[in-house]
Structure 1
């Protein structure tokens, strides 16, 4: 089949076969297929172009897929002024106002997100484009981009909002099964495998993907189709073959585009004014997600920011967006730590205030804070005067709830287990007064050594730094590992934050805010120490 004879541009869509059980709404009886797509394909997006800049005149529609919180992948031909001609488009602002609807398999429901596309980055050698959204999308897991080439005979799926046999503009997202006929250069040729499967008008740019271990993995995007069986096509046309643009061999380019702006997120702020750096899973949760940890920052002027973690591994840009979620009051925070205190997979904050008040926010996200709960009343002399440092980690065998360590003025160290259930009512002494803990300058929790419980990282007043592996309620502190010598450059560290910023297998990275306002990331710290330093403000 010669590609140049295929219908090109926006004239593309998907007609589906039946999907797995559990779908809530059946497809119309007159549709080519039986059931709409299952809700797990939340990454699917519908694109609408408005040439006059208003919502009254739709020029065309296409399909796309969310591949990061703020980027879609689609077909470049969707954005061409003459979509049936060249697929070449200029990078920058789209020629037409473009609106994306994401996470809404039934377009009549008020779910998901509707947001404008503000920028496109085309791939010059194929019909692929990256489209940047005006703001990040939350609550939807992006489609991962696979790097394995499609194989002849392999079964793949595609999904989109295109026409069916009898509907011009369906309200339902549909999906179909195809098999790979051939792989040639930057394209993959597919043929319908499930009953009635065809690629129709309205689904150019829709994702072509495989399912691996229950998860979808992008292989390509729909580009051209014969459209056999689609509404409005001459009845003599029976061919249902289609051509998709490959993405597996440009996966690194996709990641580069996604990461492009990440490195700039932390710049332009005076980091000497950052009082607390607090890592946590605030905007997406830690259970089953692909994103890395977010960073909560309390500033000296009383404001608070939440920097959203990236989906991809990019040590030079681990955060994608900043949300200002508090504008006053945080200058009075003496101690701030984050942890999972509810077992939900979403972290909250425990705060020790300068007046001795200790409170807990069970959940925090880009929209602000949940209802504040009191753990100690204002004026508590114990917490006002004697609490010197706090950190939170999984120090007991409970895999879903974190514990809090407190270093007191006399050098003793206490553990408070399961704050969500016990509040501050289950104190256990790990070190007695007069211990070396009096010399702690900063500390943070992390998973640096692979032990069953969290490790404690300490920066001492003499500039040295240590890791205590596997701190627990029963064993306490043991087996100190020195990772920085006395008088090291860490003497200039003013805040430490251990977390999963570049990978999700363990929270083994460390952020350091220095005296001069620079911020560094040390990826994958382990018992051998800090290997590589990445300056995040360059």
Structure 2
């Protein structure tokens, strides 16, 4: 959506001490209001795109706003507001259902998401392997394609380079079986460095220590950085 920089000022809402308008969703074209009364400063909110107490961060920092992704119903609501129309009735929202019977999903042991199709959207990957104990995904190969990482019950750590929706990628060994890596309890990845790739591996160990391995590759761990020391 285009930026909307003047609507709040036009509505007569004064900025706060930080120079931020009280209607904080203006950068994402919202909230959507109708029946604005200049004399009383009242209005009717008919749509929301996030913001303070409705989409801000966990600390309720009031100058930060996030916009959720909406579908056609939200676009219809916006069109109604823009045309000063009363929104029409909509059928109850039906949430998406994952494929397969519920009994099948009982056997799902691990799940990870990644852009395995190459569309820029996340895909859900489900694993039922008996000896796979932790799972994550990331851009470890550096070619903008996503790779699957698996930690096995004996501590072995592997990546499957170039995994797609049709097949696992080529197996690359990072660590052989070992005792130390049987003690990592949580494994995830993120983009925490300046290279713009989701290739920073974060591990929480059984003693509470949390470690990051920055710029991890398909066949070796990245630079080790302690984030949280184990309790003494």
Same fold (TM over 0.5): yes
Match of 2:78 in 1: none
1:325 and 2:96 aligned: yes
1:88 to 40, 55, 62: 40
Where does residue 12 of structure 1 map in the other structure? none
The answer to whether residue 213 in structure 2 is matched with residue 468 in structure 1 is yes
1:333-370 Cα distance to aligned partner (Å, 9 max, x none): 32111111122111111011xxx3xxxxxxxxxxxxxx
In structure 1, stretches of 5+ residues that fail to align are: 1-39, 44-64, 81-85, 95-118, 120-130, 137-256, 266-311, 357-382, 489-538
SS of residue in 2 equivalent to 1:456: strand
Contact 1:262/1:320 (8 A) holds in 2: no
1:483 equivalent in alignment to 2:220 = no
| Deviation string, structure 1 residues 439-484 (Cα, Å, up to 9, x no partner) | 110011012233465110000011111001111124x114311111
2:123 corresponds to which of 323, 345, 348: 348
- Structure 2 gap ranges (5+): 5-24, 71-93
Is the CA contact (8 Å cut-off) linking 1:261 and 1:320 kept in structure 2? no
Separation in 1, partners of 2:108, 2:3: 39
Specify which of 24, 28, 35 is matched with residue 68 of structure 1.
Answer: 28
SS in structure 2 at match of 1:325: coil
Query: Using the alignment, how far apart are the partners of 1:318 and 1:434 within structure 2?
Result: 44
Q: In the aligned structure 2, how far is the partner of 1:480 from the partner of 1:344?
A: 31
Cα 1:426–1:455 shift into 2, 3 Å: same
TM-superposed deviation, 1:429: 1.1
CA contact (8 A) 2:155 2:179 kept: yes
Indicate yes or no: 2:146 matched with 1:402: yes
Structure 1 residues 132 and 339, CA, compared in 2 at 3 Å: closer, same or farther?
same
Q: Say which of 325, 336, 345 aligns to 2:111.
A: 336
SS of 1:336's partner is: strand
Take 2:113 and 2:149, find their aligned partners in 1: how far apart are those partners?
Answer: 12
Q: 1:426 maps to which residue?
A: 170
Alignment of 1:174-189 (within 5 A): none
Please say if residues 203 and 211 of structure 2, whose CA atoms lie closer than 8 Å, have aligned partners that are also in contact: yes
Rg comparison, structure with higher value: 1
Q: Is the 8 A contact 1:337 1:390 kept in 2?
A: yes
Report the equivalent of 1:391.
136
Partner in structure 2 of residue 79 of structure 1: 36
Partner of 2:187: 443
Q: Tell me, yes or no, if the aligned pair for 1:466 and 1:483 is still in contact at 8 Å.
A: yes
* Contact 2:115/2:123, CA 8 A, preserved across alignment: yes
Alpha-carbon contact 1:456-1:468 (below 8 Å) kept: yes
State the alpha-carbon separation in 2 of the partners of residues 447 and 264 from structure 1: 19
Q: 2:2 touches 2:28 (CA, 8 Å); kept in 1?
A: no
- In the TM superposition, what are the counterparts of 1:1-16 in structure 2 within 5 Å? none
Residue in 2 that maps onto 1:132 = 47
Quote the offset at 1:424 in angstroms: 1.3
Matches within 5 A, 1:56-455: 67-68=27-28, 71-72=31-32, 78-80=35-37, 86-91=38-43, 94=44, 119=45, 132-133=47-48, 258-262=51-55, 313-314=64-65, 324-326=95-97, 329=102, 332-352=107-127, 356=128, 383=129, 385-399=130-144, 401-420=145-164, 423-451=167-195, 453=197, 454-455=199-200
SS of residue matched to 2:223: coil
Cα distance change of structure 1 residues 318 and 435 upon mapping to structure 2, 3 Å threshold: farther
CA root-mean-square deviation: 3.8
SS at match of 1:79: strand
TM (normalized to structure 2)?
0.63
1:483 to 1:264, Cα distance in 2 relative to 1, 3 A:
closer
* Paired residues of 1:404 and 1:416 also in contact (CA < 8 A): yes
Offset at residue 428 of structure 1 (A): 1.2
**May I ask how many residue pairs the two structures share in their alignment?**
180
| 1:70 and 1:132 in contact (8 A); partners too | yes
